[in-house]
Amino acid sequence: MFVLKAGGKKEYFNKKNIERSLAAIGLDAKIAKGLSDEVSLRFKKSVSSDEIFRFVISRLKSYGPEFLGRYNLRRAVMNLGPTGYPFERYVAKVLEEYGYRTKTNQIVQGHCVKHEIDVMAWKDKTHLIVECKYHNTHGARSDLKVALYVWSRFLDIKKKWEEDPGHKQAEFHGVWLMTNTRFTSEAVQYGECVGMLLTGWGYPREMSLEKMIHDKKLYPIDIFPDWNGKLNYHKLYESEISLLRDCLNFSAKEFSKKSGLKEVEAAIFQSEALRLIGN
């Protein structure tokens, strides 16, 4: 059986891939094996990775919202943009949980030109410019050209800072490229060589974007696929509710008003949120 990937590539179906991704979300190994067996029996000849995803999601429902949410994380982050919450604002939220002060969408004067910087981040003596590279398709990767232009941008800004006698010379200036997708190997090789921080899907293994999110339970509010059609994102973002945990600051009645859900639905949503966050 062939799997048609989002980027247009075709590869042999491998049960181990599904088992590995289900193990990563904490599903019992036996259940994971049973589920991957089901997939290999259900589909013949060729199947898109999207069909597999939807099938697995439908099966995961019986094991609880915490598995659903974790399995859906990559898509939930990707869908934030289309729901009206730009990726760079989400990145800023994540960084704040890791102790950074942040400002989004800043115009910064470089030595040669002005630059629009997605996120400026400060922590202790460290001052970072953060470029957030959002892609809305799965197969997309952040490639060498992105790493190259981000590095020139940083050099231009750094030069201006160093020219300015008022700027604190003791500060460490750095640049961080964050993406919701994977990097190409050339982008990683270049970024590591010049000394750029890189965070993307699955990279770096010990502190990838999904790990940063999981570790501090920073799931976005659109994490549960079944609730997507029901939540009023516009209202939610107006009330500064963009992370799942934000919904827990309100009574079901209050959250109902802010989300467009009926009160009983709001209560169910909150209970599912608690199961994902509490676990």
- For its own copies, the binding residues (CB under 8 A) are 111-114, 144-146, 148-153, 155-156, 186, 189-190, 193-194
Nearest CB to its own copies, comparing residues 101 and 145: 145
Which residue has tokens 């590095």? Answer: 151
d(CA 186, CA 174): 20
Nearest CB to its own copies, comparing residues 85 and 134: 134
Q: How far is the CB of 165 from its own copies (least distance, A)?
A: 21
Burial (Cβ within 10 Å: 0-12, 13-18, ≥19) of residue 148: middle
Q: How far is the CB of 122 from its own copies (least distance, A)?
A: 24
Neighbours of 202 (CB within 10 A): 13
d(CA 182, CA 77): 13
Nearest CB to its own copies, comparing residues 189 and 279: 189
> Buried (b) or exposed (e) across 22-46, using 16+ Cβ within 10 A?
beebebeeeebbebbeebeeebeee
> Buried (b) or exposed (e) across 106-133, using 16+ Cβ within 10 A?
eeeebeeeebebbbbbeeeeebbbbbbb
Q: How far is the CB of 90 from its own copies (least distance, A)?
A: 22
Question: What are the two backbone dihedrals, phi and then psi, of residue 5, each rounded to the nearest 5 degrees?
Answer: -80, 165
Nearest CB to its own copies, comparing residues 133 and 138: 133
Beta bridge partners of 101: 122
Nearest CB to its own copies, comparing residues 194 and 212: 194
Nearest CB to its own copies, comparing residues 129 and 241: 129
Q: How far is the CB of 128 from its own copies (least distance, A)?
A: 18
d(CA 63, CA 202): 25
Q: What is the DSSP letter of 126?
A: E
Q: How far is the CB of 154 from its own copies (least distance, A)?
A: 10
d(CA 146, CA 182): 12
Q: How far is the CB of 126 from its own copies (least distance, A)?
A: 22
Q: How far is the CB of 56 from its own copies (least distance, A)?
A: 36
Nearest CB to its own copies, comparing residues 153 and 258: 153
